[in-house]
Amino acid sequence: MTFAKLGLTEHLLETLAQLGYQTPTAIQSQAIPTLLNGKDVLAAAQTGTGKTAAFTLPILHLLQGTERAPAKQVRALILAPTRELASQIGESVRQYSKGLGLRSQTVFGGVKAYAQINGLQRGTDILVATPGRLLDLMEQDAVAFDELRYLVLDEADRMLDLGFEEALNKLLARLPKGRQSAMFSATYSDPIKQLAKVWLNDPEAISIAQSNKVATTVRHQIYTVDKVRKPELLAELLRRQHWQQALIFTKTKRSADEVTDILQAEGFDAVAMHGDKPQYARLSALKSFKDGKLAYLVATDVAARGLDIEGLPVVINVDLPHVAEDYIHRIGRTGRAGLEGRAVSLVCADEVDSLRAIEALLKQRVPRKEIPGFEAEHRVPDSHPRSQKKAPKQSTPPNAKAKQKAAEPAKPELSQGPSLRSNPFAKAKK
């Protein structure tokens, strides 16, 4: 199938050709015709499937050639959960709408609202926004939605994860009902279905990929190490592997800063990106990384979803995520578009439960390695069932069973607490 068969205008087809888009992805093939026909859409699609174009192109097609938005009014609204994703969608809108004469704007928190308010004064055909900042602008009477015709909620599951449900309800109460809407999510969870009942009108359900599906082009690797030596081992791996770029994940903002400081002290070109950084610094770091000018970006999960980083060779987990599904979102930044990628994790003994959950999700045992000089004092137990070898049973002579039973001490009626043997990392009291 070609984009021409989807019914898009000639101008959009020319723009796509200039951008190097040849054939539509699965989500684009299904969502674009449905939205062009005026139907609401509830789509389950992972990041990296081309969903931004799947909802942006129909909006541009339907707005092309119509009257521009009046002052303060918005004709199409795209909501995104994070500043980074909103910025990326806004850039895609600008690329796809080149030469159409449509006004677009992106608004999010972390920066002063003055310039955003001025931009909204003349009217906006397509507004990309995060829920929090949009509510602030509505409270200041800087934007209105009487002319709204199209609404998109991107990564709706992530919005719920980040606690935006109340903000979304407030927004919904102030949006006109006579609009066409689309909701995109990585999962079809029950909360998403409930959200769809409120936001969508008789939507057509589209499911592209199974939830938590991992690209077959990604190779997984674990390096076992004690927790305190993780940054040191990370620097050693970067020296050995010579990766041109790496996206490095930590659990906390403090850890991201500490890892970045250590890498910079070792002479590596590294920058931290997390929620405490000023917005201009976050956007600058991300742009430098995407442009290939920055080698190592150390981030919290704020960068795990929706970021399209072309040709990224490796994702490194200094800390395993709290939730196994977030591992999938993190490593989804590599191995895209058929390219080979690597997912490297530094794992300590405290993370064995998280590791087991990730391997259960992957349905495979991830290979372990140790780097000489970085052997873990506290071993990481092997979570693969085959590794739990049982000692062969020794036959007991029939006449010895009675003697053996008589010699055994009586078992207590109640548990006397866990034995040290049940915890391989417990230390005996002296």
pTM here is: 0.63
First to last CA, the chain: 73
Instruction: Grade residue 212 by pLDDT with cuts at 50, 70 and 90.
Output: low
Cβ-proximal residues to 196 (8 Å cutoff; 6+ apart), any chain: 42, 183, 203
* CA proximity to 306, closest of 279, 332, 341: 332
Q: Is the pLDDT of residue 410 over 60?
A: no
Strands annotated E in 20-73:
41-44
Give the pLDDT confidence score for residue 392 in this predicted structure. 43
Distances (CA, A) of 38 to 35, 57, 201, 206: 5, 14, 11, 15
Q: Is the pLDDT of residue 105 over 80?
A: yes
Q: Is the pLDDT of residue 377 over 70?
A: yes
Q: Is the pLDDT of residue 375 over 70?
A: yes
Range ranked top by mean pLDDT from 211-225, 294-308, 339-353, 391-405: 339-353
Instruction: Grade residue 417 by pLDDT with cuts at 50, 70 and 90.
Output: very low
List the single range of 25-39, 44-58, 231-245, 409-423 with lowest mean pLDDT: 409-423
Q: What is the pLDDT of residues 385-397, one digit of tens each?
A: 444 444 344 444 4
Give the pLDDT confidence score for residue 307 in this predicted structure. 67
Instruction: Grade residue 49 by pLDDT with cuts at 50, 70 and 90.
Output: confident
Instruction: Grade residue 305 by pLDDT with cuts at 50, 70 and 90.
Output: low
List the single range of 159-163, 186-190, 213-217 with lowest mean pLDDT: 213-217
Strand partners, 246: 296
Cβ-proximal residues to 23 (8 Å cutoff; 6+ apart), any chain: 1, 2, 3
Place of tokens 């129909």: 58
Give the pLDDT confidence score for residue 265 in this predicted structure. 95
Give me the sheet containing 314-317, strands edge to edge: 270-273, 296-299, 246-249, 314-317, 341-347, 218-224, 368-369
Contact 240, 76 (CB under 8 A): no
Instruction: Give the helix ranges, DSSP H, for 315-397.
Output: 324-331, 352-362
The whole-number average pLDDT for the span 49-55 is: 89
CA separation for the pair 148, 136 (Å, rounded): 18
Give the pLDDT confidence score for residue 303 in this predicted structure. 60
Give the phi and the psi of residue 378 in degrees, each rounded to 5: -100, 110
Percentage of the chain lying above the pLDDT 70 cut: 85
Burial of 375-406, coded b for 16+ CB within 10 Å and e otherwise, reads ebeeebeebeeeeeeeeeeeeeeeeeeeeeee
Q: At what angle do helices 165-173 and 131-139 cross, to 10 degrees?
A: 40
Cβ-proximal residues to 391 (8 Å cutoff; 6+ apart), any chain: none
Give the pLDDT confidence score for residue 295 in this predicted structure. 95
Place of tokens 């991830």: 366
* CA proximity to 262, closest of 288, 233, 287: 233
Give the pLDDT confidence score for residue 324 in this predicted structure. 81
Q: What is the pLDDT of residues 120-152, one digit of tens each?
A: 999 999 999 999 999 999 999 999 999 999 999
**Torsion-angle region of residue 78: left (phi > 0), alpha (psi -120 to 50) or beta?**
beta
Contact 316, 236 (CB under 8 A): no
Give the pLDDT confidence score for residue 304 in this predicted structure. 57
For the chain, what is the mean pLDDT? Answer: 84
